[in-house]
C-alpha cells in the first residue's frame, strides 16, 4: 500500500558509491536494533498484506456485498483514514518519542484484526475499519518518518535505507498474500484475521521496547525557500516551518508531485481491489493463484527496490518516477489481454518494476523538501495513498458494476498515462534534491 524517495546528503566523508560507504552501510544494517526494526517492518507488512489483498473477497463471500458496495466500503474507509493520517503525522512531529506512537498504531491494527475475525455486518465492519485499521495503517507513515530520522542520525543515505526497508515490505508481500489465501482456503477468514492480529501485536511490542532512539532533524525546509548546508543539513531559523500551521510553505511543485502520486496510487489500489475478482470471476482461476501472483510481484520488487535506492541520486528521482509511470501504463494495457496463468505471471515483471519506484521514491522526495517535518512529509505521502484508496474504491466499484472487472484495468492505464504526462512535462516541479 510508496513510494515509498530522494536521499539526504550523506554526512560521512565517503561518497555513496565508494567501498567505504558500502562497508558503513553493511555495518549499519548488521546492528541488532536495525534487525528489530526489520522485524517491525516485516510484521506490519505481512499483516497489512494479508488484510488488504483479501478484503474484497471477504466482503463478497462472507458479507454478500455487491461490487458497488465493495467500492463504497473502500472509499468510506479512505475518507476517514485521510484525516486521521494527517493528524497523526502532525502529532508525531511534536511528541518526544515517535516509537510510542508507532506502538499504539500497530496495537490498533491488531484490534482491527480481532474485530474482523468476529464481525460480519457491513456497517460494523466499516466502522471498525475506519477506527482501528484507519489509525493502525498510519504505522506505515510512522515507519517512514522514524527510519528517515534513524538514517539521518546515523549518517546513512535516506534513499538507500528507505529502499532497503521497502524491500522488507515487499518480502512481506511475498509471504502475506499466499499465507492469507491459504489460511482462507483451509481455515476460513476468521483464522486469517486472527493471524494478522497476532503479527500486529508482535510489531507493537517491538516498537515499544525494541527500537533505538533517533534524534530529530533541525534543517530548514526546501519548500520555504531556505538553503540547506550540504554537510550539516543546517538552515536558518527564519526558514523553519511554522509551529501553528505544519503544512505552511508547500509549493506548487510539491502539490503537483502529490497529484501525480495520487493518480499512480489510485491505479495501484484499483489493481489490488480488482485482481482477486478479475482472476476468480472473469478468468475462472482459483483463489490460491491470486496469492501467488501478488507474492511473485513482491518477490521481484525486492532487488528492484534495493537497486533503485542505491542509484536514485545518480539516475534522478523524478526521472525514475516518469519512467515508472510509463511502464505502468504499458502493464495495465496488457493486463486485460491476458487470459491464462503464464501471461499473468509474466506480467508481474513490469508490475514489480513500476511499483518498486512509485512505492519508494516519492516519499523520499517529500522528506527532502520538508526535512524538519518528517512526520508531515511521510503523512502527506500516506494521505496520497489513502486518497488513491478512496478514488480507487469509487472508480473500481462503478466501472466493475457497469462494465465488468476486466474493463477496470483500462481505466488504470488512463490514470497512469496521465501521471506520466504530468511528470514528463515538468508539472511535478523539482526541488533542490530532485
The predicted pLDDT at position 432 comes to 46
| 92 three-class SS | helix
Pick the residue with more confidence: 379 or 172?
172
Write out pLDDT tens, residues 373-413.
777 787 788 788 778 877 887 888 889 888 889 999 999 99
Q: What is the C-alpha to C-alpha distance for residues 85 and 379, in angstroms, rounded to an integer?
A: 6
Percent of the chain with pLDDT over 70: 81
Residue 308 vs residues 10, 158, 200, 320, 381: alpha-carbon distances, Å = 17, 12, 28, 9, 18
Pick the residue with more confidence: 63 or 86?
63
User: Taking Cα atoms as reference points, which of 382, 327, 335 lies closest to residue 359?
Assistant: 382
4 pLDDT higher than 60: no
User: Taking Cα atoms as reference points, which of 163, 41, 55, 68 lies closest to residue 113?
Assistant: 55
Q: What is the C-alpha to C-alpha distance for residues 8 and 80, in angstroms, rounded to an integer?
A: 32
The predicted pLDDT at position 30 comes to 64
The predicted pLDDT at position 5 comes to 37
Position 408 in a domain: yes
The predicted pLDDT at position 195 comes to 97
Position 130 in a domain: yes
Mean pLDDT of 302-327: 85
Q: What is the C-alpha to C-alpha distance for residues 139 and 137, in angstroms, rounded to an integer?
A: 5
Lowest-pLDDT range of 225-234, 336-345, 349-358? 225-234
C-alpha cell at 219: 534543517
Position 182 in a domain: yes
The residue with cell 471477504 is 58
Q: What is the C-alpha to C-alpha distance for residues 101 and 354, in angstroms, rounded to an integer?
A: 31
Q: What is the C-alpha to C-alpha distance for residues 400 and 395, in angstroms, rounded to an integer?
A: 8
200 pLDDT higher than 60: yes
Position 301 in a domain: yes
pLDDT band at 236 (very low <50, low <70, confident <90, very high): very low
Write out pLDDT tens, residues 108-130.
999 999 999 999 999 999 999 88
Tell me how crowded residue 142 is: count the other CB atoms within 10 A of its CB: 28
Count: domains in the chain: 1
102 pLDDT higher than 50: yes
Lowest-pLDDT range of 147-151, 187-191, 264-268? 147-151
Q: Which domain holds residue 335?
A: 31-222+250-424
pLDDT band at 190 (very low <50, low <70, confident <90, very high): very high
Pick the residue with more confidence: 7 or 286?
286
What CATH number is given to the structural domain containing 323?
1.20.1250.20
The torsion defined by the Cα of 168, 76, 419 and 376, in degrees rounded to 10, comes to -60
The predicted pLDDT at position 178 comes to 86
pLDDT band at 26 (very low <50, low <70, confident <90, very high): low
| 404 three-class SS | coil
Position 326 in a domain: yes
C-alpha cell at 147: 527510519
46 pLDDT higher than 80: yes
Please tell me what DSSP assigns to residue 325.
H
329 pLDDT higher than 80: yes
Position 340 in a domain: yes
146 pLDDT higher than 70: yes
Position 370 in a domain: yes
Residue 417 — φ and ψ, nearest 5°? Answer: -65, -40
Longest dimension (CA), the chain: 62
Q: What is the C-alpha to C-alpha distance for residues 177 and 291, in angstroms, rounded to an integer?
A: 5
User: Taking Cα atoms as reference points, which of 22, 62, 340, 332 lies closest to residue 160?
Assistant: 22
User: Taking Cα atoms as reference points, which of 51, 206, 57 lies closest to residue 114?
Assistant: 51
Tell me how crowded residue 245 is: count the other CB atoms within 10 A of its CB: 9
Q: What is the C-alpha to C-alpha distance for residues 389 and 71, in angstroms, rounded to an integer?
A: 10
The predicted pLDDT at position 29 comes to 60
The predicted pLDDT at position 237 comes to 36
Mean pLDDT of 193-201: 97
Lowest-pLDDT range of 186-200, 236-250, 308-322? 236-250
Highest averaged pLDDT of the listed ranges 16-25, 67-76, 230-239: 67-76
The residue with cell 550540504 is 230
Mean pLDDT of 13-18: 39
300 pLDDT higher than 80: yes
Residue 68 vs residues 12, 60, 397: alpha-carbon distances, Å = 53, 11, 4
Write out pLDDT tens, residues 27-44.
656 667 788 899 999 999
Averaged pLDDT score across all residues of the chain: 80
User: Taking Cα atoms as reference points, which of 426, 403, 392 lies closest to residue 56?
Assistant: 392
User: Taking Cα atoms as reference points, which of 364, 361, 313, 303 lies closest to residue 152?
Assistant: 364
User: Taking Cα atoms as reference points, which of 27, 40, 44, 95 lies closest to residue 209?
Assistant: 40
Position 8 in a domain: no
The predicted pLDDT at position 241 comes to 45
The predicted pLDDT at position 216 comes to 55
25 pLDDT higher than 60: no
The predicted pLDDT at position 53 comes to 84
pTM over 0.85: no
Lowest-pLDDT range of 2-6, 105-109, 116-120, 307-311? 2-6
pLDDT band at 199 (very low <50, low <70, confident <90, very high): very high
Highest averaged pLDDT of the listed ranges 20-24, 76-80, 119-123, 428-432: 119-123
Q: What is the C-alpha to C-alpha distance for residues 261 and 248, in angstroms, rounded to an integer?
A: 20
Amino acid at each position: 500500500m510508496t513510494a515509498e524517495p530522494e536521499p539526504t546528503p550523506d554526512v560521512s566523508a565517503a561518497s555513496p558509491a565508494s567501498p567505504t560507504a558500502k562497508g558503513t552501510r553493511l555495518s549499519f544494517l548488521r546492528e541488532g536494533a536495525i534487525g528489530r526494526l526489520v522485524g517491525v517492518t516485516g510484521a506490519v507488512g505481512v499483516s497489512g498484506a494479508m488484510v488488504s489483498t483479501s478484503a474484497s473477497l471477504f466482503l463478497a463471500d462472507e458479507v454478500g456485498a455487491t461490487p458497488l458496495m465493495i467500492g463504497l466500503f473502500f472509499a468510506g474507509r479512505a475518507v476517514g483514514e485521510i484525516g486521521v493520517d494527517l493528524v497523526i503525522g502532525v502529532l508525531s512531529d511534536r511528541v518526544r518519542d515517535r516509537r510510542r506512537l508507532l506502538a499504539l498504531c500497530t496495537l490498533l491494527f491488531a484490534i482491527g484484526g480481532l474485530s474482523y475475525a468476529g464481525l460480519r455486518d457491513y456497517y460494523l465492519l466499516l466502522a471498525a475499519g475506519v477506527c482501528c485499521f484507519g489509525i493502525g495503517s498510519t504505522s506505515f507513515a510512522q515507519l517512514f518518518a522514524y527510519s528517515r530520522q534513524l538514517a539521518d542520525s546515523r549518517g546513512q543515505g535516506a534513499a538507500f535505507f528507505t529502499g532497503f526497508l521497502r524491500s522488507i515490505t515487499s518480502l512481506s508481500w511475498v509471504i502475506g498474500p499466499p499465507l492469507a489465501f491459504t489460511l482462507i482456503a483451509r481455515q476460513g477468514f476468521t483464522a486469517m484475521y486472527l493471524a494478522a492480529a497476532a503479527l500486529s501485536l508482535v510489531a507493537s511490542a517491538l516498537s515499544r521496547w525494541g527500537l533505538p532512539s533517533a534524534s530529530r532533524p533541525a534543517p530548514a525546509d526546501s519548500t520555504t525557500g531556505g538553503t540547506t548546508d550540504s554537510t550539516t543539513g543546517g538552515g536558518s531559523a527564519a526558514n523553519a516551518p511554522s509551529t501553528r500551521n505544519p503544512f505552511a510553505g508547500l509549493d506548487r511543485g510539491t502539490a503537483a508531485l502529490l497529484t501525480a502520486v495520487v493518480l499512480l496510487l489510485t491505479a495501484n489500489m484499483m489493481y489490488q481491489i480488482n485482481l482477486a475478482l478479475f482472476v476468480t470471476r472473469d478468468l475462472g482461476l482459483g483463489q490460491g493463484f491470486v496469492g501467488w501472483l501478488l507474492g511473485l510481484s513482491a518477490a521481484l520488487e525486492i532487488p528492484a527496490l534495493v537497486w533503485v535506492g542505491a542509484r536514485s541520486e545518480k539516475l534522478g528521482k523524478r526521472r525514475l518516477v516518469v519512467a515508472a509511470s510509463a511502464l505502468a501504463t504499458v502493464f495495465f494495457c496488457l493486463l486485460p489481454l491476458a487470459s491464462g496463468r503464464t501471461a499473468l505471471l509474466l506480467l508481474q515483471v513490469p508490475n514489480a518494476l513500476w511499483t518498486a519506484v512509485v512505492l519508494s521514491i516519492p516519499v523520499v522526495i517529500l522528506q527532502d523538501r520538508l526535512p524538519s517535518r518528517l512526520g508531515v512529509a511521510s503523512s502527506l505521502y500516506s494521505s496520497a495513498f489513502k486518497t488513491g484508496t478512496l478514488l480507487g474504491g469509487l472508480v473500481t466499484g462503478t466501472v466493475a458494476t457497469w462494465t465488468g472487472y476486466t474493463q477496470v484495468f483500462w481505466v488504470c492505464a488512463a490514470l497512469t498515462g496521465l501521471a506520466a504526462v504530468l511528470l514528463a512535462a515538468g508539472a511535478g516541479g523539482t526541488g533542490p534534491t530532485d
